[in-house]
Structure 1
Amino acid sequence: MSAKQVTGSSNLPVARVGVLGFGGLGQAAAIRLAPKREMILVAAADKHGYVYRPDGIDASGCISTYQSLGSVGYLEPFGKLTTESVEELISAGSSVDGYFLALPNLPNNFIPNVVKQFIKLGWRGVLVDAIKRTSAVEQLLEMRGELAQAGITYMTGCGATPGLLTAAASLAAQSFADVHKVEITFGVGIANWEAYRATIREDIGHMPGYNVEKANSMTDAEVEALLDKTNGILKLENMEHADDIMLELAGICARNRVTVGGVVDTRNPKKPLSTNVKVTGRTFEGKISTHTFTLGDETSMAANVCGPAFGYLKAGMKLHKQGIHGIFTAAEIMPQFVK
Structure 2
Amino acid sequence: MTNQVNPIPVGVLGFGGLGQAAAHVLAPKQQMRLVAAADKKGYAYSPEGLDLKDAIATYQSQGSLGYLEPSGVLSEQSIADLIGRSQNVAGFFLALPNLPNTFMASVAKQFVASGWQGVLVDAIKRTSAVEQLIELQSELKEAGITYVTGCGATPGLLTAAAALAAQSYAEIHQVKITFGVGIGNWEAYRATIREDIGHLPGYTIAQAQAMTDAEVETLLEETNGLLTLEDMEHADDVILEMAGICGRDRVTVGGVVDTRNAKKPLSTNVQITGRTFEGKISTHTFTLGDETSMAANVCGPAFGYLKAGAQLHQQGFCGLLTSAQVMPHFVS
TM-score between both structures, scaled by the size of structure 1: 0.97
Match among 64, 75, 87 for residue 57 of structure 2: 64
Determine the structure 2 residue equivalent to 1:55: 48
For the Cα contact (< 8 Å) 1:19–1:44, is it kept in 2?
yes
Q: Is the partner of 2:79 in helix, strand or coil?
A: helix
Cα deviation for residue 59 of structure 1 reads 1.1
Q: Is the partner of 1:13 in helix, strand or coil?
A: coil
Determine the structure 2 residue equivalent to 1:144: 137
Q: Is the partner of 1:61 in helix, strand or coil?
A: helix
Determine the structure 1 residue equivalent to 2:251: 258
Cα deviation for residue 228 of structure 1 reads 0.6
Matched, 1:88 2:81: yes
Determine the structure 1 residue equivalent to 2:183: 190
Q: How big is each residue's C-alpha offset from its partner over 1:257-281, in whole Å with a ceiling of 9 and x where there is no partner?
A: 0000000000000000000000001
Question: 1:307-326 alignment to 2 at 5 Å?
Answer: 307-326=300-319
2: CA distance, partners of 1:121 / 1:151: 11
For the Cα contact (< 8 Å) 1:275–1:295, is it kept in 2?
yes
Determine the structure 2 residue equivalent to 1:35: 28
Question: 1:122-141 alignment to 2 at 5 Å?
Answer: 122-141=115-134
For the Cα contact (< 8 Å) 1:98–1:313, is it kept in 2?
yes
User: Structure 2: which amino acid aligns with 1:259?
Assistant: T
1: CA distance, partners of 2:59 / 2:99: 21
Determine the structure 2 residue equivalent to 1:107: 100
User: Structure 1: which amino acid aligns with 2:225?
Assistant: G
Q: Is the partner of 1:131 in helix, strand or coil?
A: coil
Determine the structure 2 residue equivalent to 1:302: 295
1: CA distance, partners of 2:170 / 2:158: 20
Give the fraction of aligned pairs with identical amino acids, expressed as a percent: 71
Match among 177, 200, 213 for residue 220 of structure 1: 213
User: Structure 1: which amino acid aligns with 2:140?
Assistant: L
Match among 264, 280, 288 for residue 287 of structure 1: 280
Determine the structure 1 residue equivalent to 2:224: 231
1: CA distance, partners of 2:215 / 2:163: 39
2: CA distance, partners of 1:337 / 1:62: 25
Cα deviation for residue 93 of structure 1 reads 1.8
1: CA distance, partners of 2:78 / 2:6: 28
Q: How big is each residue's C-alpha offset from its partner over 1:87-133, in whole Å with a ceiling of 9 and x where there is no partner?
A: 00000122111000000111000010011000111000000000000
Matched, 1:206 2:182: no
Determine the structure 1 residue equivalent to 2:265: 272
Cα deviation for residue 12 of structure 1 reads 2.9
For the Cα contact (< 8 Å) 1:12–1:37, is it kept in 2?
no
1: CA distance, partners of 2:207 / 2:326: 35
1: CA distance, partners of 2:30 / 2:187: 31
Cα deviation for residue 288 of structure 1 reads 0.8
Q: Is the partner of 1:273 in helix, strand or coil?
A: coil
For the Cα contact (< 8 Å) 1:130–1:163, is it kept in 2?
yes
Determine the structure 2 residue equivalent to 1:25: 18
Computed over aligned residues only, the root mean square deviation of the Cα atoms, in angstroms, reads 1.1
Q: Is the partner of 2:170 in helix, strand or coil?
A: strand
Structure 2: segments with no counterpart, 5+ residues? none
2: CA distance, partners of 1:59 / 1:134: 33
Q: How big is each residue's C-alpha offset from its partner over 1:108-162, in whole Å with a ceiling of 9 and x where there is no partner?
A: 0001001100011100000000000000000001100000000000010000000
Determine the structure 1 residue equivalent to 2:323: 330
Question: Do the aligned partners of residues 141 and 205 (structure 1) sit closer, same or farther apart at CA in structure 2, a change above 3 Å counting?
Answer: same
Cα deviation for residue 11 of structure 1 reads 5.4
Question: 1:163-182 alignment to 2 at 5 Å?
Answer: 163-182=156-175
2: CA distance, partners of 1:13 / 1:286: 51
2: CA distance, partners of 1:239 / 1:12: 43
Q: How big is each residue's C-alpha offset from its partner over 1:212-252, in whole Å with a ceiling of 9 and x where there is no partner?
A: 11101101000000001101000000000000000001110
User: Structure 2: which amino acid aligns with 1:205?
Assistant: G
Q: How big is each residue's C-alpha offset from its partner over 1:153-172, in whole Å with a ceiling of 9 and x where there is no partner?
A: 00100000000000000000
For the Cα contact (< 8 Å) 1:170–1:252, is it kept in 2?
yes
Aligned pair count reads 332
